[in-house]
Amino acid sequence: MTAPFGQRLAGAVTARGPLCVGIDPHRELLLAWGAGDDLDGLRRFTDGVVEALAGSVSVLKPQMAFYERFGARGVAVLEEAVGHMRSAGALVLLDAKRGDIGSTMAAYADYLHDDHPMQVDAMTVSPYLGPDSLQPAVDTARAHGGGLFVLARTSNPDAGTLQHARVGDRSVAQAVVDTVGGWNAETPAAGSFGVVVGATLRELDVDLAGLGGPVLAPGLGVQGGSPADLRRLFAEGTVVVPTVSRDVLTAGPDPAALRAAAERWAGALAA
């Protein structure tokens, strides 16, 4: 990858808008598509989403768990699809939420490596083994132009149980944001490191002013978040990557219907 993720993301958002569509082939959705909850259905679903959206959406976010449940052959379906996504111009954000220490974290981060057979543009990671646990992923991202989105203030209802806990004079969520902001401060022109902050929050209880990177905002659509919530929560100038999954995916399998659903969301976000 020739430019840092932050620069590529900015270019994609300028050209295509900020919408990120999650690719979540869970059992109910595969059956709703008439695809079957099996490897062939997984392939038909994935290929259909890629064909419909990879040429127009800025970011596609495959959820790794839904591929891993089919074993190595399921991951192989995703590996092939990632290449098609990137060839069509979409950035690929692997939603894997990896978190570990040392060589294990470094191995997870190899998805960002130029030589990896399923190289992606960015991935989600979990910080709850401590900020230093993510350093191997930070190093790999910097070396290969990749990006990270770190779980900070997530959209699930009981997230505050841990994320509101105090670390000195700040919350755990704020400590995560500040850590990621420190990574971006070392390479301020790139802004390749972001945080995950849910679009369903009643109020923004973390300070993003020093982040210097993007915010992945899940929770739009079925979970209750709206474009108005994005405008309410995030200050003007914040690079927000809003994520929609089921509200687009349930329009399939017809490619035109999938594109139309994505375009409706893109239009709502631009209004």
Annotated catalytic residues are: 97
Phi and psi, residue 161, nearest 5°: -55, -45
Q: What is the SS3 assignment for 264?
A: helix
Identity of residue 49: V
User: CA-CA distance, 66 to 59, in Å (whole number)?
Assistant: 18
The token duo for 112 is 């960002």
CA 173 to mean position of chain CA atoms: 18
Which of 59, 98, 85 minimizes the C-alpha distance to 218?
59
CA distances from 98 to 76, 132, 222 (A): 19, 14, 25
User: CA-CA distance, 108 to 85, in Å (whole number)?
Assistant: 21
- As a dihedral over the C-alpha atoms of residue 89, residue 50, residue 15, residue 182, rounded to 10 degrees, the angle is -80
